[in-house]
Amino acid sequence: MTLSNAELWAAGLGYVLPPVIAIVNQPRWSSAVKGLLMLVVAVLDGLGTAYFNDQFTGKTIVTCMLTAAIAIGVAYHTVWRPSGIAPGIEQATSTSSPRPAPGA
């Protein structure tokens, strides 16, 4: 099966989205909530890439969403989490972590 331009864009964008997702994720959230956020981002990625590639049809939209979800998951578990980048971003942007006072 040959991938369309929209599906390739969905995969490429999905590969770099985990750090963006980590900005919103909070370390105290359950895995289910984090997974749901990832799926919402994958849906938006799929819709956007299909639309901007003028391939906004049923099959292409669904394959773009699935391609984005797989790319996000694989990239997170093979690159962004093991490197510590995504967890570090989550911790740095957490609303519950104490931040040092300015000048301290």
Residue range 50-89, pLDDT digits in tens:
999 999 999 999 999 999 999 999 999 999 999 999 999 9
Among the residues of 4-104, which ranges form H helices?
Answer: 5-16, 18-24, 31-52, 58-75, 85-92
**Is pLDDT at 46 greater than 90 in this prediction?**
yes
Answer whether 80's CB lies under 8 Å from 19's CB: yes
**Per-domain boundaries in the chain:** 5-92
Amino acid identity for residue 102 in this structure: P
The pTM (predicted TM-score) of the whole model is 0.86
Residue 85 phi, psi (nearest 5): -70, -50
Please state at what angle helix 58-75 crosses helix 31-52, rounded to 10 degrees. 130
